[in-house]
Structure 1
Amino acid sequence: MAEKIKINNNIFIYPMPVTLLGANVKGKANFMALGWVSRVNGNPPMLGVGVSKSHYTPEGIMENGSFSVNFPYSEMVEKTDYCGLVSGEKVDKSGLFEVFYGELETAPMIKECTLNLECKLAETLEFPTNYFFVGEIIAAYSEERYLTQGRPDIKKMEPLLLTMPDNSYWTLGDYAGEAWKTGKSLMAKKGTEEG
């Protein structure tokens, strides 16, 4: 087996989901490209988003106490990247997509996206360069064509993925196995129990 070598510790998780973070800022829908997204709680369902303090979007999240996380499909790569290149402070991005609102009425969502999560702000953590917004997922929206047995189907959704620091977009690879099942054959060989 090859020897491990130490690399730069300013590393990113491989890969990251490509999303469009939505917030109303000064009464107008705004979207920014975002890869720093993670589920942080099971029930109630909550997720966290890491957003640079230099961005325009945090102002709207704090102003309204809400945000959305929208999952674009692979063919939306150009518009998605554009949302990461230009600031809503200088460019009106509200007309770039077909926007809709859900229960909170202050978290703009994108109809073209395969999955939309409407979030109520629960907590804001401040770090040296970023805010970490924790939101409760109040509602989730999709379309029948992206679901299998009522659940989001990753193959049908064709999500975009991001790697950094090479700053590249990717699409989904091959199926590798079923979670919480594939390792059971090894458990049987080792004589271990589920824990």
Structure 2
Amino acid sequence: MKRNLGPENPLYPSLTTIVGTVVDGRPNFLAVAHVGNMNHGQPQYLSFGINKKHHSGRGIHEHRQFSVCIPGEDLVVETDYVGLVSGRNTDKSQLFELFEGVLPYAPLIKRCPVCMECRLDRVIDFETHEVFVGEIVATHAEEGVLRADGKIDIAEVRPLLFDMSSVSYWSLGAPVAKCWSVGKGMKRRLRGEQ
């Protein structure tokens, strides 16, 4: 029997990212786990939600650019740190070695195996939070995390997963099945195509 938990969001674990922007002339970073894909067409968009009090929001509004980097498990301490301290009173600009991409106000972290540069498309306003929707302008990936076909190998990235119920970072497990494949037998069977 299931218990009614009320209006609780159980959509965890979620991918942990580091969002970068420029505030007051210097790079600033924030750990963000509420990130979502918006579409798979072109152009591609992603979104993330943060509290309006976060210092990074100011830089995103001002420059309309930001980065979303995917840290590996080896960056768990630094990732947690940038989520614990505010750029309002802590200079996080020297924490990471950066590299340049296309957008001048989207700082990219060299140690993150995957980073995306985004241009702000729109902001969805809620009472306490804002959801930033960005168009992905460029994606940068380390050669070591790419498969032979040029796609990102998530097992090589070793991303951090965030779980709200345990307030813990988790690692990625083994693959379970191939998407858009494992259910084909059931589809044929239910259509009587056996």
TM-score bucket (shorter structure): over 0.9
Counterpart Cα distance in 2 of 1:51 and 1:192? 48
SS of the aligned residue for 2:181 comes to: coil
Task: Name structure 2 gaps, 5 residues minimum.
Answer: none
Give the alignment of 1:39-78 within 5 angstroms.
39-42=37-40, 43-78=42-77
Shift of 1:54: 1.2
Shift of 1:101: 2.6
Aligned to 2:166: 166
Shift of 1:8: 3.5
Q: What TM-score, normalized to structure 1?
A: 0.94
Structure 2 letter corresponding to 1:90: N
Shift of 1:9: 1.6
Q: What TM-score, normalized to structure 2?
A: 0.95
Counterpart Cα distance in 2 of 1:167 and 1:28? 30
Shift of 1:10: 2.7
SS of the aligned residue for 1:151 comes to: coil
Contact kept in structure 2, 1:29 and 1:94, CA below 8 Å: yes
Aligned-residue RMSD, C-alpha: 1.2
Counterpart Cα distance in 1 of 2:165 and 2:177? 28
1:90-119 alpha-carbon deviations (Å, 9 max, x no partner): 111111111123111111010100110100
Shift of 1:192: 6.7
Counterpart Cα distance in 2 of 1:127 and 1:64? 21
Moved over 3 A (4+): none
Structure 2 letter corresponding to 1:57: S
Contact kept in structure 2, 1:12 and 1:163, CA below 8 Å: no
Aligned to 1:187: 187
Aligned to 1:153: 153
Structure 2 letter corresponding to 1:39: N
Task: Name structure 1 gaps, 5 residues minimum.
Answer: none
Counterpart Cα distance in 1 of 2:95 and 2:176? 36
